[in-house]
Structure formats: C-alpha cells, structure tokens
Structure 1
C-alpha cells in the first residue's frame, strides 16, 4: 500500500493547525518552509522518481536482453548498490512483483500524463532559476513522447514497455507498432 507524504509550505502556525488532518491521510507530513516550498519538494521528488524509473526500466530491459531472468536481476539489484524504490517497491517489469501497475497492464498508479506535467513544471522552474537538469530534461522529453504514443493513461512505469517497443532493429531503425 502506498504511503502518502505531504510536503507542506506556508506559515508554520497554519501548518501546525492542519497537521493532524494531514496525518489522517498520509504516513509522512513534512513542513518545508515558506509558501511554495512544499510544491518545490514534490517537483524535486517526482523528477528523481522519473529518472530512477527510466534507469530501472533500461537496466531491466538490458538484463533481459542479455538472458537474465528478470526476477533474479531484480533480486540482485535490490541487494546491491543499484537498489532504489523503482526496483524494490514498484518494479516496472511485468511478472516481477505483484500488486504494482506493471502486474496489471500498467493500470492504476501515477499516470504518465501526470509525470510529464510534473517534469514540465520542474523544467520551467529550472529554467527560471538557471539550474541545469540534463537528466530531468531528458526524462521530460521521454514522458512527453510516451504521451503522444499511447501511454498517456498508463502508469509512468510503463516506460519499460515503451523502451521495449523502441528497441532498435538490426539496421538501427526503431521498431514501430
């Protein structure tokens, strides 16, 4: 089951007044500071989540192409330095875990459209603050392309399925459905 985290910005006394309500809905409630800092924390978290999911999907895809059993590869990653939430809690490969969107044709979860939206907000914020985010920018591009190719209503972990469909043919041309 998901554990919601509320990242809250605003006046501290107002946060304290609402904190009990937040704890009824989420497992973690964190005061981030002034107005806007809660949203900033969420954007940063979701940018890292999207980058980690793409990395996990690429890694699992490569391992499968190299002949590794995906459950075995996930087990190895999750006891090694490659362990991350996208591999040990929300694995994007169908059949590796139960109870996650990849086990249900990528239905449910956090939609690709929502991830693309959050990455767009992160991109705009990075541009406004002159902060380089090359991996965040690439993740934004990947999720935007996914939205245009029929993944908009699937969970963002469907990036694994997207990458599988984009595998290069022997002549270097990508597969097209």
Structure 2
C-alpha cells in the first residue's frame, strides 16, 4: 500500500511537470520541488550547470529562471545588523570565522550584535533605521556573507570633506 502511494505521488508529480511543460513555465512551488528558488534564479546560472555535468537539470532550470537583463535590480539597504550568539559559534564555524576576521571592517554600515541564544541572521535597515528585511544565514559560509553584504549594502560615499575628520576641534 505504501509503495503504491509513492508510485501514485510520483506519477502525479511527473504529470504536473509534463502539463507545465506544455502550457507555461513552472510555478514557484514546482521549482521549489525541483530544488530551484524561482525568485532568485537567473538564466545565466542554468547555463553553468553544464560545467558540472548536470545537463539533465538545464531544461527544468530554464523553466524556473528569470532572464538576466529583465531581472529586478538588487535592493540596496543603508545599514545591516548581523545578529549572532557566541555560544552557538561551534554550530556555525563559518559565521564565527566571518565575525572574527577583518571582513566586517570592510562594511562601515554593518553592526555585529550579540544576542543570546539566537541563530545567525542579518537584518537589513533603511536610511531611517527601520528593519526592512531579515535573512537567516546559518547555512552560509564566509564568502557568501561577504558577497551578500557587497550586493545589498549601499556603499559609503567618500566625502571630499574627509579632512574634517582629522581636523576636528
């Protein structure tokens, strides 16, 4: 009985995929069941699957992707707060490595806040200091955190009046 249920479920799934293929692109749920995040998937990424001998995934990937030229611009935020608990560092060694490295100093608008018992997250704030988005980062490595911050944080403008910082009275 259990095996029949699995076969039936698989048959329904493949029928759904076939119907989607005939009518339109996959829905967000269809893409998620295939392992793709439709909202973030650019078609140029699908082309890279061939480099890893994953040719069989390209067709499904193309049904879930956005054209790079029509992809929405990445939203930029004025500030970010990386919240983490030091007691959980052993569970998240990559986050610990990021926090303890010199990488956070590259982002003057990043604050690291230690919150007891919290899994690592990044809060993204607008120019008024209002939290606009929160991202869970527990599965990220140090490079992913840095790339995310480079992509989503506004760059600090180099002000021509930097001499004022050194000549303050």
TM-score (ref. length: structure 2): 0.27
TM-score (ref. length: structure 1): 0.26
